[in-house]
Structure 1
Amino acid sequence: ICSGISWNAEPALSGSRGRALREVYLAASALAMFACVCGAAGNSVVVWLLSAGPRRTPFCVYMLNLAAADLLFLLCMASELSLETPALADRFAKAYEAVRRVKYFAYTTSLSLLTAISAQRCLAVLFPVWYKSRRPRHLSAAVSALLWALFLLMNLLASVFCSKFWQHSESQCFTVDMVLSTLIVGVFTPVMAVSGLTLYVRVRRSALLRRRKPRRLLLVILASVLVFLVCSLPLGLYWFVLYWLPLPPEAELLCICLARLSSAVGSSANPVIYFLVGSQRTKRLAEPLQAVLGRALQEEPELEGRETPSTGTNSGL
């Protein structure tokens, strides 16, 4: 990630197996570009609707920032794929490098925001009374701003230490990558996985004991966490772990193609999740998007096991 060396597919595309690998590379790039275009459109709609909404819940603020980070990532991914064409690769080398670094920033910010979302919702589920009475009013906005600033600073430092103009920067690049990989693999991913598992257990327990539909916001967070772990995490593992391993060019090509395609799908999935969870089967495609999104992200206080649900609440939110 931080070495400043542009990834080049040419070594893997030469030789006897070059034709088959080239077809795989072109097909994966085309699919990734299609996912980026669709995902950018979906996340743009989410950003617009949440920005124009009259009232934002704490988790709407998180989802607004997450959609903005995913939108930035998808735009950078699409630009990177476009700049890899032979006609543009040499002419816009500096622009290609800048796009790659902004993409790293958007990826790490999106990961940290999703971790904060799942962890905070887990606290709200486990300790509803404490969460409702002790949570600072502007916690979600403050955490989001802090994460944007933190990872902007970290990626700027990574760019400085790993610049190709920095002499003897190989060890510094490796150190920076190890710090970021520790955050991704050792902190964010376990916290996200544990929070997601806790929410899943809570959803199952609520469904079995109370025979109520799980709240839509919990389903949104669970689906987002699962999609990220399955689709977007491989790209981070490639950047921060596999990049430093001596892989054959063919294996490196297949890894990056798979990681790019899956990450593009992962960053494009949240708007689809909001629509599927928030829409009603009988009115699907007939409701305003604002109403569907508001229903998917509506936040309600979690009920303790000793409490009985209100008979007036039957929407399953």
Structure 2
Amino acid sequence: MGPSSFHRMNQTLNSSKTPASNWSGPPGETLGVTTRVLSALTILTCVVGIAGNGMVICLLSFREQRGPFCVYILHLAVADLLFLLCLASELILEASLVANTGHTIYSDHTVHMFPTVLKAFEVLRRMNFLAYTVGLSLLTAISMERCLSVLFPIWYRCHRPQHLSAMVCALLWALAVLLNVIEALFCREFWNLDTQQCFTVDLIFSLLILALFTPVMALSSFILSVRVQRSFQRRRRQPTRLYVAILASVLVFLTCALPLGIYWCLLYWLDRHLWTDIKLSYSIFFSSSVSSGANPIIYFVVGRRRSPGPREALGTVLRRALQEEAELEPGDTPSTGTNQEGV
């Protein structure tokens, strides 16, 4: 899923469907400027996202008591941090290669003259796939579990295993690592540009992952948003900040990060010019970097104090954003029971 994308692009140029005589090449300096701007914006977004996710990891790691969703958010921040680090490293590596040789990572010149660089690029892409898979699966688990807590609040509170979050996170990381190991075994002939084996395996896993997690995440988030809206209309009470944070994170992922997974799948059928694929790749990389870098901003915006007051510590703001209990508005009376909506 993704690691073989530049392999496919090389085959696009070398295949009989797109002979070199029909390829007009990049449109002069326009492509270079566009690519450099997108690359710079993506790297800048990655730096901001790395700082934000690193802050979330530090704040949650040193908390003595973490709720079940804090565990999910901690692992999601680790996955986002890994994704942003790998993406920024890829872009810096390719920018250095272009500056020193005048050839991109996709060119035949790089394939034959700099195999070590390509191997490093492949490792980064594998790690990128790992982080992307974990992030997608964690968001699915978060939205699905919160949806269950709304649909079946009493059952959820009484029967939920105490360490379910940690077990689910460990399972999802193990699954992502296993998929990467299997792909690496199938792709041991990766550097033979005459074989479709590696890209076919990538495609199969991409389709399986997207088909399994994306519909579940979208459906559970839709159900969650509907139930929260109905509860608000009946009781006129603001939903918990955690619901808002989850729904905002899922919406940003579906809008900004999902196109990356779809693009990796569609590359198998795309028969495009190399320069067009590169421009599309950089646009989608920028979009996905926004998704991974936006989550810390969402947490701190959602968790800030609604009424004016003294400046608060970031740990307090983050704790408020991830708390599961609804805040009491002026005039509300605390309730010791569990409401039927669970919100």
* Fold shared per TM-score above 0.5: yes
Aligned equivalent of 1:200: 225
Distance 2:306 2:8 in 1: 45
Shift of 1:258: 1.5
Cα-to-partner distance string for 1:169-194 (whole Å, 9 max, x where unaligned) = 5245314422332221x221111111
Shift of 1:283: 4.9
Structure 1: which 5+ runs fail to align? 302-308
Shift of 1:43: 0.1
Aligned equivalent of 2:333: 311
Q: Secondary structure at the match of 1:132?
A: helix
Cα contact 1:3–1:162 (8 A) shared by 2: no
Are 1:38 and 2:60 an aligned pair? no
**TM-score normalised by structure 1 residue count:** 0.88
Are 1:170 and 2:170 an aligned pair? no
Matched residues, number:
306
Structure 2: which 5+ runs fail to align? 14-22, 106-113, 336-342
Aligned equivalent of 1:84: 94
Based on CA coordinates, which of the two structures has the bigger radius of gyration? 2
Cα distance change, pair 245–259 in 1 and its aligned pair in 2 (3 A) = same
Cα contact 2:4–2:198 (8 A) shared by 1: no
Q: Secondary structure at the match of 1:92?
A: helix
Distance 2:238 2:44 in 1: 35
Cα contact 1:4–1:162 (8 A) shared by 2: no
Distance 1:133 1:166 in 2: 54
Cα distance change, pair 188–125 in 1 and its aligned pair in 2 (3 A) = same
Cα contact 1:59–1:117 (8 A) shared by 2: yes
Aligned equivalent of 2:298: 273
Shift of 1:55: 0.8
Are 1:97 and 2:161 an aligned pair? no
Q: Secondary structure at the match of 2:75?
A: helix
Are 1:149 and 2:174 an aligned pair? yes
Cα distance change, pair 250–188 in 1 and its aligned pair in 2 (3 A) = same
Cα distance change, pair 149–283 in 1 and its aligned pair in 2 (3 A) = farther
Shift of 1:165: 5.0
Aligned equivalent of 1:211: 236
Are 1:57 and 2:83 an aligned pair? no
Q: Secondary structure at the match of 2:300?
A: helix
Aligned equivalent of 2:133: 108
Greater alpha carbon shift after TM alignment, 280-289 vs 99-108: 280-289
% identity of equivalent residues: 49
Backbone CA RMSD of aligned residues: 2.7
Shift of 1:2: 4.5
Are 1:29 and 2:39 an aligned pair? yes
Q: Secondary structure at the match of 1:84?
A: helix
